[in-house]
């Protein structure tokens, strides 16, 4: 069964706790102090969580092979029209990624 992941934004408090666990140098600092430094840094932290691929998504696997062939054959035509190789469609990339390609 294929798994793909989803990113969730993590708040500074939980990030400070995780950093304090991972880095032994930060054990002397309080969590509030680490959190204040993180807020001032303008950094954004994300946590990765695995998501199971649904049954409906897995049914589309044979259709994805046909779509890959059509997209591969149509790539030179797309290059002639747009001047760029590849496709800039996020939903196609997400679909293929969720199927495990």
What is the tens place of the pLDDT at every residue in 58-71? 888 899 999 999 99
Report the predicted TM-score, pTM, of the whole model to 2 decimal places: 0.50
Q: Using one digit for the tens of pLDDT, what is the confidence trace for 9-27?
A: 999 999 999 999 999 898 8
For residue 85, the SS3 value is coil
Mean pLDDT along residues 67-79? 92
For residue 46, the SS3 value is strand
Length of the chain counted residue by residue? 101
More confident position, 66 or 89: 66
The mean pLDDT value of the chain amounts to 87
């Amino acid at each position: 069964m294929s798994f793909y992941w989803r990113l969730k934004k993590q708040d500074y408090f939980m990030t400070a706790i995780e950093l304090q666990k991972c880095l032994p140098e930060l054990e002397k600092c309080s969590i509030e102090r680490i959190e204040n430094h993180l807020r001032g840094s303008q950094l954004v932290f994300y946590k990765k969580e695995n998501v199971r691929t649904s049954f409906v998504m897995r049914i589309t696997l044979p259709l994805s092979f046909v779509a890959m062939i059509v997209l591969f054959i149509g790539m030179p035509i797309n290059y002639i029209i747009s001047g760029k190789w590849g496709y800039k469609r996020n939903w196609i990339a997400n679909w293929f990624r969720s199927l495990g390609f």
